[in-house]
Amino acid sequence: MNFLSLFVMAPQGGGGAGGGASILLFQIAAIGAVFYFLIIRPQSKARKQHETLLGSLKKGDEVVTSGGIIGRVKDIKEDRVTVESGDSTLVIRRDRIIQVGSSDAGAAKG
């Protein structure tokens, strides 16, 4: 007998064996639910937000890259973005942009 046939036959046995299998199924389902709500769902939401952020990118936006470079968007092509930072012009991958707009711009003006 393999493991699957033992697992399927366990609830059909005596009253004691069936209770153990149902508890096991409940524990597996609970672990699956925890993984979904604590890991998979938040990652999916964050990915969708990042895609929306990159979709709204336009010339003149101030961006921050994952490498910490801060600059203004000069040109946008399919998967490449030209960013002007200081006296330098850099071409970076679009998916490496982690923030659009300056979070401390409002604090500097206020």
User: Which of 14, 34, 53 is the endpoint of a domain?
Assistant: 53
Residues 20 and 63 in one domain: no
CB 69 within 8 Å of CB 81: no
Sequence-ordered list of residues with C-beta below 8 angstroms from that of 22, at least 6 positions apart, any chain: 11
**Do residues 49 and 66 share a domain?**
no
38 and 71 in a common domain: no
Phi/psi at 97 (nearest 5 deg)?
-80, 125
Q: Which domain holds residue 43?
A: 3-53
Does one domain contain both 102 and 66? Answer: yes
CATH number at residue 73: 2.30.30
Rg (CA), the chain: 26
Q: Kindly report the backbone phi and psi dihedral angles of residue 103, in degrees, each rounded to the nearest multiple of 5, phi listed first.
A: -75, -25
| pLDDT the model gives residue 101 | 86
Sequential pLDDT tens for the chain (110 residues) = 566 565 555 555 454 556 788 999 999 999 999 999 999 999 999 999 999 999 999 999 999 999 999 999 999 998 999 999 999 999 999 999 999 986 554 444 43
What are the helix (H) ranges across 14-100? 15-35, 41-55
Residues 48, 90 within the same domain: no
Number of domains comprising the chain: 2
- CA distance linking residue 8 with residue 21, whole number of Å: 9
